[in-house]
């Protein structure tokens, strides 16, 4: 079965295992390694991408449900995006492994909730684990990107 989808603006065709998670298609198939593998079960957020504008865990999204959808990964999110900029201004990353997923979740939050408060941030980002413990700066960076005072 052949299926099509759009990844970062490019039309793609996929004819492999329709049960294959989008994450492995992105990483092994398209060499888009910005979405990370952290758990494979949807509980860490490292693989977060946008599907039709909503945040989604690529590791638990089978290719068949990505068919016909528009996927944006960290590589496809504008480098000038306020979230990416705020992340750099506040020096959020330590090891950085979780940060692409954090940024994608944060960007999706701001798209739906332009002025989030602490509870909105907790709700949107509690699915994204950072083992290095950068949460305080993540919170500050989200607020900075949103233009709300920390």
Binding site for other proteins (CB under 8 A): 16-17, 20-21, 24, 27-29, 31-41, 43-44, 46, 73-75, 79, 84, 87-88, 91-100, 103, 118, 121-122, 125-139
Is 116 among the residues that bind ligand FES (CB under 6 A)?
no
Q: Are 91 and 52 in contact (CB under 8 A)?
A: no
* Binding partner at 57 among ligand FES, other proteins, none, C-beta below 5 to 8 Å by kind: ligand FES
Cα–Cα distance measured from residue 5 to residue 14, given in angstroms and rounded to the nearest whole number: 8
Which of 26, 46, 74, 107 binds ligand FES (CB under 6 A)? It is 46
Cα–Cα distance measured from residue 90 to residue 69, given in angstroms and rounded to the nearest whole number: 33
Is 93 among the residues that bind ligand FES (CB under 6 A)?
yes
Question: Per residue in 106-142, is it b (16+ CB within 10 Å) or e — as a string?
Answer: bbbbbeeeeebeeebbeebbeebbbeeebbebbbbbb
Strands 10-14 and 3-7: antiparallel
Which of 96, 113, 120, 140 binds ligand FES (CB under 6 A)? It is 96
Which stretches of the chain bind ligand FES, using CB under 6 A? 37-40, 42-47, 57, 59, 93-99, 130-132, 134
């Amino acid at each position: 079965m052949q299926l099509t989808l759009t990844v970062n603006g490019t039309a793609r065709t996929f004819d492999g295992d329709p049960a294959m998670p989008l994450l492995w298609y992105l990483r092994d198939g398209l060499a888009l390694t910005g979405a990370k593998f952290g758990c494979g079960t949807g509980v860490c957020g490292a693989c977060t991408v946008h599907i039709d504008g909503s945040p989604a865990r690529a590791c638990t999204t089978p290719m068949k449900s990505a068919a016909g959808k528009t996927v944006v990964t960290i590589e496809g999110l504008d480098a000038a995006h306020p979230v990416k900029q705020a992340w750099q201004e506040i020096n959020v990353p330590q090891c950085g492994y979780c940060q692409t997923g954090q940024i994608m979740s944060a960007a999706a939050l701001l798209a739906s909730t332009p002025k989030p408060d602490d509870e909105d941030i907790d709700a949107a980002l509690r699915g994204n684990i950072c083992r290095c413990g950068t949460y305080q700066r993540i919170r500050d960076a989200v607020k900075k990107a949103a233009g709300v005072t920390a």
